[in-house]
Each structure stands twice: as structure tokens, then as C-alpha cells.
């Protein structure tokens, strides 16, 4: 039997995905064009929320991928996670066979639906972008949440927090006016999704001045 599952995570940064896989104890195998699974699609899984075949993936392509994620040093028959081109044409998605003992081993490390990838991926994407922009970055784990705090040379601060479900919130401090919005939007583009952002008092002060001038 085969239960090929689609992972609800949009991947736009492969290096961040590789770092995420390694954080979770997996091995990222670049340019591996196939991933291990049951080997035959039997059309025997009707879970609308998880089954890849019911979410627009072509069963004829199961087992094919651009890269693969695997458990290091495991059984030669152990199932793997396929990194496949996104259905949207932008970026990548993850699929894997969740059935049986081999699927259970993947989910023991990555969670059901590979939910454990969501939190560290959000952190790794932001970390790579902010370091590239010259920020000093620190990471704090508390109560199941990961908080990334980044400070630039002017002392402006971006704090991004990601919960275990992958929900992201961003807070900024020390930016002038809409500069905080620009920084937040850049992070959102890198993550591929809208975040919950908190504007600081500096933003509202500048907005008030602009309204008075009008």
C-alpha cells in the first residue's frame, strides 16, 4: 500500500530547507532525482487533507524529485522525502510516503505531515536573509517558540517569532516610518506567505506627521 502525502509548506529557499533538514536530524541529498517510497500508487488513500493525489499531484510522478531528504545511515529500503517542483511553478514542495513502518519512521522525526519542518524553516529563511543584509542575529527557544532577534548597525531591531505550527509574527523597533513595512515585506516574500506584523510607535508618529501635512 502507499499513502503519498503532500506537505503544506512552500519552499523558496533550498539552502534554508537543507539547514532545516539537518536541524531535525535528516540528510539533504542534492540532485537526487528519485525518492524511496512503496513504488506503486494503488489509489487506496482518500484523505482529502493529506493525500498528494487528491491535491493536484500526478501519481505518475510519484518517486521522482529534484532533491531528496533521508534518514542518515538508515535501512536501504527506508522511505525518503521528495523535494519536488511546486505545482504553482514557483519554488518547491515536499511529498513522502507515510504508510507503514518506513513512513512512521519519517514522521517520528518530522512529525505527521512533516509539520516539524515549518518552524525551523521559517527561522532559517529569515536568518539567511537578515545576515545577508548585515544584521547581527541571535536565536532564543522558549515555550516551544523560536525567537530570532536581529540588530543592524543603526541599532534598529527586527524580531521574528515562529511557533510550532509555523505561524510567524514580526516586530520591528527603531525604524523610521514605512521602513519597518519594507523590511517586513521582504521577509514575507522570502517566506512565501503573509505574517502577523506589529508596527511600532515610530511608524505611527511618522504616519501622523504625513496626515497633518496633507
Cell of 21: 533538514
Three cell numbers, residue 57: 499531484
Whether 107 and 150 map to the same domain: the answer is no
Q: What is the mean pLDDT of the chain?
A: 89
Any domain includes 122: no
Query: Rounded to an integer, what distance in angstroms lies between the CA atom of residue 61 and that of residue 145?
Result: 36
- Cβ atoms of residues 124 and 12 within 8 Å: no
Is residue 103 domain-resident? Answer: yes
Q: Within this chain, do residues 191 and 137 fall inside the same structural domain, yes or no?
A: yes
119 inside domain:
no
* pTM for the structure as a whole: 0.87
Query: Is 123 contained in some domain?
Result: no
Answer whether 150's CB lies under 8 Å from 89's CB: no
Looking at the fold, whether 47 and 106 belong to one and the same domain comes out as: yes
pLDDT value at residue 185: 87
Is 200's pLDDT higher than 80? no
> Structural domain of residue 176, as residue ranges?
133-213
In tens, the pLDDT along 115-172 reads 999 999 999 999 999 999 999 999 999 999 999 999 999 999 999 999 999 999 999 8
**Within-domain flag for 128:** no
- Give CA–CA dist 133/110, Å, rounded: 30
Q: Please tell me whether residue 147 adopts helix, strand or coil conformation.
A: strand
In a domain, 145, yes or no: yes
Q: What is the pLDDT of residue 163?
A: 93
Percentage of residues in the chain having pLDDT higher than 90: 76
* Domain assignment of residue 155, yes or no: yes
74 within some domain: yes
Which pLDDT belongs to residue 197?
53
Amino acid at each position: 500500500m502507499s499513502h503519498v502525502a503532500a506537505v503544506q509548506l512552500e519552499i523558496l529557499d533550498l539552502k534554508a530547507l537543507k539547514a532545516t533538514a539537518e536541524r531535525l536530524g535528516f540528510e539533504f541529498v542534492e540532485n537526487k532525482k528519485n525518492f524511496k517510497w512503496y513504488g506503486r500508487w494503488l489509489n487506496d488513500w482518500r484523505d482529502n487533507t493529506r493525500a498528494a493525489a487528491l491535491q493536484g499531484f500526478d501519481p505518475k510522478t510519484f518517486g521522482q524529485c529534484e532533491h531528496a531528504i533521508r534518514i542518515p545511515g538508515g535501512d536501504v529500503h527506508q522511505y525518503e522525502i521528495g523535494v519536488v517542483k511546486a505545482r504553482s511553478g514557483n519554488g518547491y514542495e515536499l511529498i513522502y510516503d507515510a504508510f507503514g513502518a518506513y513512513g512512521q519512521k519519517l514522521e517520528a522525526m518530522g512529525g505527521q505531515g512533516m509539520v516539524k519542518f515549518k518552524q525551523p524553516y521559517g527561522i532559517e529563511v529569515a536568518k539567511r536573509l537578515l545576515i545577508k543584509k548585515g544584521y547581527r542575529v541571535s536565536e532564543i527557544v522558549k515555550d516551544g517558540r523560536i525567537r530570532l532577534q536581529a540588530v543592524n548597525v543603526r541599532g534598529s531591531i527586527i524580531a521574528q517569532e515562529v511557533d510550532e505550527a509555523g505561524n510567524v509574527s514580526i516586530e520591528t523597533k527603531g525604524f523610521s516610518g514605512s521602513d519597518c513595512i519594507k523590511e517586513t515585506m521582504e521577509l514575507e516574500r522570502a517566506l512565501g506567505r503573509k505574517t502577523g506584523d506589529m508596527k511600532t510607535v515610530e511608524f505611527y508618529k511618522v504616519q501622523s506627521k504625513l496626515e497633518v501635512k496633507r
